[in-house]
Structure 1
Amino acid sequence: MRLHEIGEFGLIARLKEIVWRADPRVMVGIGDDAAVVTYERPVVMTTDALVQGVHFTSETMTPKLTGAKAAVATLSDLAAMGAVARHLLVTLALPPDTDVEEILAVYRGMADVCNMYDATLVGGDVVSTGGPLVISVTATGELLDKPLLRSGAKPGDILFVTGDLGGSAGFLHAFFADRLAMLNPLDQSLLRERHQRPTPQFIAAQILVEEGCTSLNDVSDGLASEAHEIAEASGARLVIEAARVPIPPALRAYARLGRLDPLDFALYGGEDYQLVGTVDVRSVGRVLARMQAAGVRFTVIGRVTDGAPGVELLAQGVYQTLEKRGYNHFGAAFRGGKEIR
């Protein structure tokens, strides 16, 4: 069944059935001119958008995975601010001949993420477009304490990341270069998982709020770009030790086979949705212990030093200025010889 056969209101009725969940914070949900919700603490708001053929493609993502990832990309910003998720508003721009089942699958993916992180989709908009599918997600959350900003790093702080980096970009590179078959099935699966099923780092964020994190950013556009944002906002100089950057073994295997540098994927790839930030050196032991107890990978990758704002990479004993590169919506980005973003 195509979208033009059921129309806007027929689609909304079906979507409402998928995303409805009991939420005492929702006074008015889908079905009126606007949603009405209640909050007890300061509210954090963020928005993100995915465009088919730019941010995702049917070659690498199913509709359900795309919906889940669209929600995660937005929720990741809430985690980076030290907030918990509360509500989502979703706008879809859809070609009239879109398969209705694909749209429902997108919302099932979003609903799964909402259920996992106690968030509720309370409304949005549906419009027609002659262009590609566009998914825009606005999310609200409540602060756990003070907001975690990019601007608090100071000399002497420790620089860290959660999880590992580069797997999503590595998967896209391998896929579009027709090199996935070079890897064993387990490594293929691990890289695919990094790209298709990221997770917002709410557990890590809660620990960082409680332990006094000095700055924080989510890794959506690559470690180099996000580190520069912290350096510029804080007026500080960051040093990243190349040997400490956590890279998944599957990506290292792919890089060896393709004679590539796996660090490039971590620094410039993006879509990892991990957290990079700084903590006071006196707190790092407690933070590490709590992260390990919670099952969160936490890696010290460098430090904050005196000097002009910027980022340096220390590799094999040599310091070099790290360019502010990463995913840029208005700059060409090529993966595997094919422009996909």
Structure 2
Amino acid sequence: MRDEFVLIQQLLAQRPPVTRPVVVDAGDDAAVVSMAPGYQVVISSDTMVETVHFLRATMRPADIGWKLMAANLSDMAAMGATPTFALLSLAVPSNWSESELVEIYKGLYQLAAKHEVTLVGGDTVSSPHTLVLTLTILGEVRAGRALRRSTAEKGDIVFVTGTLGDSAAGLNILLHHDEERSELHPKLLQAHRRPHPCVTLGKWLAASGERIALNDISDGISQEAWEIADASGVHLLLEQDKLPLSKEVIAYADQMQMDPYEWALHGGEDFQLLGTAPATWFQRKAASAPTPMIPIGYVESGRGSEVEIVRSGEREQLTRAGYNHGRKR
């Protein structure tokens, strides 16, 4: 039987130096932190459940921690927020060792340190069967500058921030225990295990003060595009041949005789950003963005709350088929 308090102290011991104003730190009944005046607090939470969101066969403990932090940071990026503090709660079964839990925290801390996020508490309990991790993250954004899905308008450019489908292709390699292709395509495995959320670009877009609708790509473009269309009441038209694909995902899809656009559209967990921006602003400013902003379509007049895609010159409704978190991997 684990001593909960000893374990918590062990997990917090490896935390990077605190760089933000913490008034009352972890170890009391609750943490107390200071936020900058003139800013609003942004709060998000993500849960990862063993067998639903990750498998021990495909993810090392440190990768699990990194990816949990990445998922939460990506939510901050989509709001244009600067991430600040986090709390992590664990439900741990007996078949996970303390050394594995230490590795989970190590991966989480590695990415947290890159974005100056401080873990200020959480909880640890027992679980009968599977490991469950819930991270709650706080961020801040200038008052009135938070980016939302609901601001897209007719004439806007639809854009993404990087290549799509890499994570899903990496998962496909891992699920098939393909050692040869693992050696051939390490970048795809890295994209699945250790994604890099677009926090810098999200903050840059919020600072611009422009009308940007934004969503993070956790469940796949086909899901995220519909969420923007529904929230904004607009019609999005995407062009398949403009979706950015890495040379690695193209090569692997060719080897497997699979369609890389299936991964790009429906795979999820790329943690890129999907957004819309006024065309004139995009044409003037996109090239100076800190990371690529790649146009893949536009918002057009006509029917609201719909997403279509152009394939081989033909328009069709885009099937809403992103990753469903209620379905096992």
Q: Aligning the two structures, in what range does the TM-score lie when normalised by the shorter sequence?
A: over 0.9
CA contact (8 A) 1:239 1:305 kept: yes
In 1, the alpha carbon distance for the partners of 2:51 and 2:311 equals 36
Q: Could you tell me whether the CA contact under 8 Å between 1:207 and 1:287 is conserved in 2?
A: no
* Alignment-mate amino acid for residue 148 of structure 1: L
Match in the other structure for 1:299: 294
SS state of the match for residue 69, structure 1? helix
1:280 to 278, 281, 294: 278
> Among 6, 9, 13, which residue is 1:10 paired with?
6
- 2:160 maps to amino acid: V
Match of residue 161 from structure 2 = 162
Matched with 2:91 is 93
Shift of 1:176: 2.0
Aligned to 2:151, what secondary structure does the other structure show?
Answer: coil
Identity, in percent, stands at 39
Within the alignment, does 1:325 sit opposite 2:321 as a pair? yes
Q: Tell me how far 1:93 sits from its aligned partner.
A: 0.2
In structure 2, the partner of 1:214 is 212
Contact 2:237 2:307 in 1 (8 A): yes
The alignment's C-alpha RMSD in Å is 1.5
TM-score by length of 2: 0.95
Which of 44, 47, 52 aligns to 2:45? It is 47
- Equivalent of residue 192 in structure 2, options 184, 187, 195: 195
Letter in 1 for 2:126: S
Say whether the 8 Å CA contact 2:53–2:325 is kept in structure 1. Answer: no
Once the 2 structures are TM-superposed, how far is the Cα of residue 204 of structure 1 from its aligned partner?
Answer: 1.1
Q: What's the counterpart of residue 175 of structure 1?
A: 174
Alignment match, 2:259: 261
Q: Deviations over 1:208-254 (max 9, x none)?
A: 22331420000000001000000000000001100000111111111
Partner of 2:57: 59
Provide the C-alpha distance between the structure 2 equivalents of 1:195 and 1:97, rounded to a whole number of angstroms: 24
Q: Distance in 2 between matches of 1:52 and 1:257?
A: 30
| Distance in 1 (alpha carbons) for counterparts of 2:195 and 2:59 | 13
Q: Which runs of 5+ in 2 are unaligned?
A: none
Structure 1 residue 234 corresponds to structure 2 residue 232: yes
Q: Aligned to 1:314, what secondary structure does the other structure show?
A: strand
Could you tell me the TM-score, scaled by structure 1's length?
0.91
Counterpart CA distance in 2 for 1:149 and 1:123 is 28
- In 2 relative to 1, CA 260–120 (structure 1 residues): closer, same or farther, beyond 3 Å? same
Of 92, 100, 107, the residue aligned with 2:105 is 107
Could you tell me how far apart the structure 2 residues matched to 1:286 and 1:210 are? 16
Work out the number of aligned pairs and report it: 324
**TM-superposed deviation, 1:60:** 1.6
What letter matches 2:171 in structure 1? L
In 2: Cα distance, 1:267 partner to 1:24 partner: 38
C-alpha distance in 1 between matches for 2:20 and 2:104: 25
Q: Does 1:35 align with 2:31?
A: yes
SS at match of 2:14: helix
Structure 1 residue 185, shift from structure 2 partner: 3.4
2-structure distance, mates of 1:91, 1:253: 40
Task: Give yes or no for contact 1:90–1:135 (8 Å, CA) kept in 2.
Answer: yes
How big is the shift at 1:96?
Answer: 3.1
Partner of 2:3: helix, strand, or coil? helix
CA positional deviation for 1:98: 2.3
Distance verdict in 2 for CA 1:17–1:172, change over 3 Å: same
1:26 aligned onto 2:25: no
* Amino acid in the other structure paired with 1:168: S
Confirm or deny: 8 A CA contact 1:20 1:121 kept in the other structure.
no
CA distance in 2: counterparts of 1:29 and 1:265, whole angstroms: 42
